[in-house]
Structure 1
């Protein structure tokens, strides 16, 4: 159960990071509200997962999921450019997350 909650929390990290960027310094209401709700839920889920998972592993997986999805979303929507090197480095982050899960 902790792993599932951690994965959902990582997805919510990508949501709040994206919403933060779209909030234009908290001047736009909807992205600001999405940010606030997503950041609270993400942190609560991370805290829950850390009750049973090692802190370092849980945090690294949470950040890896959030960062990977944030970058992937930005590339898919055209906000950030796509390149072979960016995809390689993104794959390295994902590989690290999978590796941490595999050795736990």
Structure 2
């Protein structure tokens, strides 16, 4: 169950990064809504990360959390914000995914 909390925490990290991107593009009261969503997603992400730490070592949990966040945010950047998707970028995202899976494989 603690790995589920960790994956959900990583997805909430992706959500809060997405909200920041949308807030940057918004104006007026719309931006306030995006910043509020950012705060809620960030709080949820940190809460779930904290729950996962009951049984997952801190270094592993943090690396997996940031890895999910980095890969997910990069993917959303391509899909939602028109970020470039180049061969080298794909290569390094793939190595990051491999590293996250490796950490899961060697952790309790």
TM-score, structure 1 normalization: 0.93
Deviations 1:80-99 (A, max 9, x none): 10111111111111110000
Q: CA RMSD in A?
A: 1.7
Q: CA deviation at 1:78?
A: 4.5
Partner in structure 2 of residue 9 of structure 1: 9
Give 2:84's match in structure 1, choosing from 81, 93, 98: 81
Q: For 1:1-104, what aligned pairs fall within 5 Å after superposition?
A: 1-24=1-24, 28-104=31-107
Rg larger for: 2
> Which sections of structure 1, spanning at least 5 residues, go unmatched?
none
Structure with greater helix percent: 2
Distance 1:78 1:15 in 2: 14
Task: Count how many residue pairs are aligned between Structure 1 and Structure 2.
Answer: 104
CA distance in 2, matches of 1:41, 1:4: 14
CA distance in 2, matches of 1:41, 1:76: 24
Q: Which stretch of the first structure deviates more once superposed, 4-13 or 29-38?
A: 29-38
Any stretches of 5+ residues in structure 2 without a counterpart?
none
SS at match of 2:54: coil
